Amino acid sequence: MPNEILNVVALQKFFFTTQGTVRAVDRVSFSITENETLGLVGESGSGKSTVAYTVVGIYAPTDGKIYFRGEDRSQPVAKRPKSLKRAIQIVFQDPGTSLNPRRTIKQILELPLKVHHLTAGDRKLEVANLLRRVELPADYMYKSPHMLGGGERQMVAIARALATEPKLIILDEPTSALDVSIQAKIINMLIKFQEEMNLSYLFITHDLSLMRNVATRVAIMYLGKICEVAYTAEFFRNPLHPYTKMLLSSIPVVLEEEEELKPTKVISKGEIPSPVNVPPGCSFHTRCPVRKEICMQADPEMVEASEGHFVRCHLVSGQEAVASS
């Protein structure tokens, strides 16, 4: 694939607990190319953060491979070379806990600059420059995180990620704890940085509508597995998986012609099952409004329904059109 940055192959991450084996991520595969945003969308507990933490090396994979620019980088963060740690950054949902409360913003932003062996004066200039890039006043460097608002803290977290000049930033629900107006501001900044720095993003969210203007491609995760991936326009125009249709039927649409295409309200049956007790067959069958006998027996394979549009559903792969809701 041209300019592939990240390639995740059959990634598995299980947690072995007293309640049983949590199959948080189960054979997830995806890739991200240069300058691309892959939106990873799913309900709470579907395994999105576990994917993020494993890619970034906080967790060691139970099985599967993580390739970064073609090299096998499946090892956990302690065993990764420094250059790789700098190349992949992560921004968490809650900037309140991801920034050390006992440090000033200057100390927080200086840390990733240390490798450059700058003088104290140059480091200060560089911190001011990072703050300027995220549109915060330079004198914020003397404040501590608790003196900042939630949006401002998240901008500091983004500035810290930018400081290492990464290739890939994993954004784990970066705006879902923030007000809508601040959310828009941060999203616009992220888009700007992506263009300026040729960045790739793995953008994790439960907010599918947010992906429309942000993602190059959208991947839907359900109970530890990816069930559909497509380029954003195709994804919203021609959703194939019954779960995707269910998610899309519950979000507001922007364009009139999309209203016509939008699946009519699909009633969600039940809650997401526990990843300790993953249903046999297709894991979505317990909630699926169009399930057939086979769905309760066999786990469907991912198939390419059209170019770049992948779906894991017996009703699609079996050429049996999903009743168009």
Ligand X SMILES: Nc1ncnc2c1ncn2[C@@H]1O[C@H](COP(=O)(O)OP(=O)(O)OP(=O)(O)O)[C@@H](O)[C@H]1O
**Binding residues for ligand X (CB under 6 A):** 15, 17, 22, 24, 42, 44-50, 206, 275
Contact segment (CB under 5 A) with Mg ion among 11-19, 46-54, 128-136, 316-324 equals 46-54
Residue 97 or 306: the one with the smaller Cβ distance to ligand X is 97
Residue 48 or 217: the one with the smaller Cβ distance to ligand X is 48
* Residue 150: CB minimum distance to ligand X, A: 17
| One-letter amino acid for residue 205 of the chain | T
* Residue 49: CB minimum distance to ligand X, A: 3
Q: Does the protein bind Mg ion through residue 49 (CB under 5 A)?
A: yes
Helical pair 150-163 and 180-197, crossing angle rounded to 10 deg: 10
Among Mg ion, ligand X, none, partner that 22 touches (CB below 5 to 8 angstroms by kind): ligand X
* Residue 198: CB minimum distance to ligand X, A: 27
* Residue 43: CB minimum distance to ligand X, A: 7
Residue 17 or 181: the one with the smaller Cβ distance to ligand X is 17
* Residue 117: CB minimum distance to Mg ion, A: 36
Q: How many CB atoms lie within 10 A of CB 252?
A: 7
Residue 136 or 171: the one with the smaller Cβ distance to ligand X is 171
Residue 22 or 316: the one with the smaller Cβ distance to ligand X is 22
Q: Where in 279-318 is the site for Mg ion (CB under 5 A)?
A: none
Among Mg ion, ligand X, none, partner that 47 touches (CB below 5 to 8 angstroms by kind): ligand X
Chain residues that interact with Mg ion, rule: CB under 5 A: 49
